[in-house]
Structure 1
Amino acid sequence: MVKKKVTITVYGAEQICASCVGAPGSKDTYEWLQAAIGRKYIDDSIQYKYIDINESQSNEKHQQFIEKIFDEDLFYPIVLVNDEIVAEGIPRLKTIYEALDKNDVALQV
């Protein structure tokens, strides 16, 4: 059986979102997610990506999503599981775990 790869992408910035004062920064959230997910799931089938929204991206898909963030005034960090937005602003693990379960990521034993 071939394992399906899951990609978790976090779009964020060094500066904390103005509407998210008191929340951890995007990079901290990215690292926290990796640790939390690694405790619950076997994460060898998970690929993590961090995209800084203040940097120009060579990948057109990432650049277009960054433009969407600014055009629609989305709160960051934004967490995607396989290109589906699962969290905006302050992420909730329950929502992210539900997306991982939906993508058949195996639980730790």
Structure 2
Amino acid sequence: MKNNEIEIVLYGAETLCPSCVSSPSSKETFEWLEAAIERKFPNQPFKMTYVDIYQPHEEPDKQTFAKRVIEEDMFYPVVVIEEKVVGEGNPRLKLIFAELEKYGYKAEE
């Protein structure tokens, strides 16, 4: 059983990335992902953090990664769990859920 809260960080921006024009916005993806994780892993704590890649962030590691998203032309939103990139552009729930299960999250059917 997991005993600590995992942080899921979504890096995105107000504007859509050039190749993601038909996709939902980063904020919409953040809300959708948060709701999907709450449904899949009810009563299991996690922390969702949204980082706008064009706004300075108070945590240096998040600021550094936000710059990397821009410099490496990553498809955003970018989903990071415990410093591992698990989704880029249009994140796949299956991959995100599988990563959370590695930390002891148990799906409730």
TM-score (norm: length of structure 1): 0.92
C-alpha change, 1:2 and 1:22, in structure 2 (3 Å) is closer
Q: Is the 8 A contact 1:3 1:45 kept in 2?
A: no
Match of 1:89 in 2: 89
- 2-structure distance, mates of 1:24, 1:36: 15
Q: Is the 8 A contact 2:8 2:48 kept in 1?
A: yes
Match of 1:36 in 2: 36
Match of 1:69 in 2: 69
- 1-structure distance, mates of 2:97, 2:2: 21
One-letter amino acid of the counterpart of residue 7, structure 2: T
Identical aligned pairs, as a percentage? 39
Match of 2:79 in 1: 79
Q: SS at 1:14's partner residue?
A: coil
- 2-structure distance, mates of 1:19, 1:6: 30
Match of 1:45 in 2: 45
Deviations 1:56-102 (A, max 9, x none): 12211011101111111111000011111000000010000110111
TM-score (norm: length of structure 2): 0.92
Q: CA deviation at 1:42?
A: 2.6
Match of 1:13 in 2: 13
Please state if 1:55 is matched with 2:60.
Answer: no
Q: CA RMSD in A?
A: 1.5
Q: Is the 8 A contact 1:45 1:105 kept in 2?
A: no
Count residues in correspondence. 109
One-letter amino acid of the counterpart of residue 78, structure 1: V
Q: Is the 8 A contact 2:53 2:70 kept in 1?
A: no
Q: CA deviation at 1:43?
A: 4.9
Q: CA deviation at 1:30?
A: 0.2
- 2-structure distance, mates of 1:42, 1:83: 23
- 1-structure distance, mates of 2:91, 2:7: 16
